Amino acid sequence: MIDYQQILDTIQEEMSYRDVKGKVASYIPELAKVDPKKFGLHLYRNEHEFYGFGDHEEKFSIQSISKVFTLSLAIRNLGTKVWERVHVEPSGNPFNSLMQLEQDRGIPRNPFINSGALVISDILVDVLDNPKKELLEFVRKITGEDHIDYDENVAQSELSSGYRNIALVNYMKALGNIKCDVEKIVDFYFYSCSIAMSCKSLAKAFMLYANKGAILHTGEQVLNPSTVKRLNALMQTCGFYDESGEFSFEVGLPGKSGVGGGIAAIHPQQYSVAVWSPVLNKKGNSELGMKALERLTTLTGLSVF
């Protein structure tokens, strides 16, 4: 029997914010204000068995972790047609890179880098009547938590400084891979990234991907198992941008990070876990978060490899 609480206590004792060298994201002004000392982790095994420590119940900006939710919603609405607009290869480039788009004729390498998520946003803006409302409804449904919401300040902060993302959409529009109005797409994208959730809520949401597409607390099947298999494969190979290999090597779980300092990851049929520490490494992933998850898979002996 694995003593999860003891393992979590060990991780909390071992890890210190003082050991990390990176910085809190500053290119989104609102994120630069976050206290770098925040640190929390939450793990779900099933509806009745969960563990956490530190700031695991405090909300933070989930940023790119939302790319898993928007992709899930796009596949629910469009099925495999999504793959005509975005590829499924690791990019080996930074999350906000424009570089490969020219040679790839405007088709992003994968849906978990910004260009890919912007194409997914275009799809959702096109097919949904009220995409912001429906995304929030989806996240509330899979967590059972109606208090989850967008953070207006973070969304506005990014809208006023998101030139790279605006450039990405314009460039892909020029190359023929964007259908809707650029302003509507970036507005939806920035709002998606601004969703505020705690580690506890994120881990609960991610049980969907550990559970073959069934909601933890209701058992309702919202994604089919084959979709979840594909989503997990993408998280494994592309979830950490140009550090996806390193995350597989050190941690060995499908997961997704965000520049708010969160990481959510799953072990199919075993657990989901979310960690938050806002200090980022050079690749834009939570430095302490990655270390904590490395310890988790080492101490539990449970990675997918």
Annotated binding site for substrate: 64, 114, 158, 165, 189, 241, 259
CB nearest ligand GLN: which residue?
A: 64
User: Based on CB atoms, which residue is closest to ligand GLN, 26 or 46?
Assistant: 26
Residues making up the annotated binding site are 64, 114, 158, 165, 189, 241, 259
User: Based on CB atoms, which residue is closest to ligand GLN, 40 or 284?
Assistant: 284
Residues 6 or more apart whose CB falls under 8 angstroms from that of 111 comprise 67, 71, 74, 82, 86, 88, 117, 119, 120, 234, 238
What's the CA gap between 262 and 276, in Å, rounded? 4
User: Based on CB atoms, which residue is closest to ligand GLN, 96 or 270?
Assistant: 96
Q: Report in angstroms how near the CB of residue 99 gets to ligand GLN at its nearest.
A: 16
| Helix residue spans in 160-303 (DSSP H) | 163-174, 182-194, 199-210, 225-238, 244-250, 287-300
Residue 171: count of CB within 10 angstroms of its CB:
17
Q: Report in angstroms how near the CB of residue 119 gets to ligand GLN at its nearest.
A: 13
Q: Which of 113, 136, 135 is nearest to 124 (CA)?
A: 135
Task: Identify the residue whose tokens are 């969703």.
Answer: 195
- Interacting residues with ligand GLN (CB under 6 A): 63-64, 95-96, 114, 158, 165, 193, 258-259, 284
Q: Report in angstroms how near the CB of residue 55 gets to ligand GLN at its nearest.
A: 19
User: Based on CB atoms, which residue is closest to ligand GLN, 167 or 233?
Assistant: 167
Q: Report in angstroms how near the CB of residue 147 gets to ligand GLN at its nearest.
A: 22
